[in-house]
């Protein structure tokens, strides 16, 4: 009886419909392919100034462009290439950079490193609901549902109700299947 009541209390919030948003831009639209993913292979990015593929640290990409390029590469499962772009970002303490480091490590199967990056991202910005969602999806993958549920509650408490971060985590907890973007 007690387990049934607990299960019902946990399951009820998950019956709400999932919002149609995705990480990185709160849209379900995938990143638009850029010259980096159309012309460059490996740990290279397209540089508009030189009109060729270069190492990320040698490119003229802005901080924001580096983040968007890392997201685009990660979307294509090019996680190590995305990490090379992240390494070129000048602010390695930026919560968004730490979040993407965590994401790429998680997708490469490095769960301990991923958790460390997510923890640092949240320490930098406790309202980083994307880092909370991705970290909690890692908890779902390892069967740590209580920790995932705690992060889901934190996301909601921080105004993330109905966002992609909240809805995708809710779905992951409900189904046991995590999402990428």
Q: Tell me: the pLDDT tens digits for 45-63?
A: 999 999 999 999 999 999 9
Under the banding of pLDDT at 50, 70 and 90, the label for residue 30 is confident
The CB-side HSE value for 70 (13 A sphere, CA atoms) comes to: 30
Tell me the C-alpha distance between 93 and 124, whole Å. Answer: 8
pLDDT by residue (tens digit) across 136-174?
Answer: 999 999 999 999 999 999 999 999 999 999 999 999 999
Report which of residues 180 and 31 the model is more confident about: 31
Token pair of 105 as six digits = 């490590």
Distance CA 127, CA 131 (A): 9
- Beta strand segments in 21-97, E: 45-47, 52-54
pLDDT at residue 24 greater than cutoff 60: no
User: What percent of the chain lies above the pLDDT cut of 70?
Assistant: 83
Q: Is the dihedral of CA 53, 59, 61, 67 positive or negative?
A: positive
Phi, psi of 49 (to 5 degrees): -65, -45
């Amino acid at each position: 009886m007690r387990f049934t009541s607990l299960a019902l209390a946990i399951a009820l919030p998950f019956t709400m419909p999932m919002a149609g948003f995705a990480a990185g831009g709160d849209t379900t639209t995938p990143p638009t392919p850029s010259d980096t993913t159309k012309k460059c292979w490996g740990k290279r990015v397209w540089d508009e100034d030189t009109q060729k593929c270069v190492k990320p640290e040698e490119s003229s990409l802005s901080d924001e462009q580096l983040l968007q390029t890392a997201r685009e590469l990660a979307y294509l499962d090019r996680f190590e290439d995305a990490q090379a772009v992240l390494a070129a970002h000048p602010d390695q303490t930026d919560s968004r950079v730490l979040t993407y480091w965590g994401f790429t490590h998680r997708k490469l199967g490095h769960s301990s490193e991923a958790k460390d990056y997510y923890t640092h991202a949240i320490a930098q910005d406790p309202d980083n609901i994307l880092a909370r969602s991705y970290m909690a999806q890692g908890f779902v993958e390892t069967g740590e549902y209580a920790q995932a549920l705690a992060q889901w509650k934190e996301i909601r408490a921080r105004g993330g109700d109905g966002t992609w971060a909240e809805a995708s985590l809710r779905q992951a907890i409900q189904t046991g299947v995590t999402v990428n973007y």
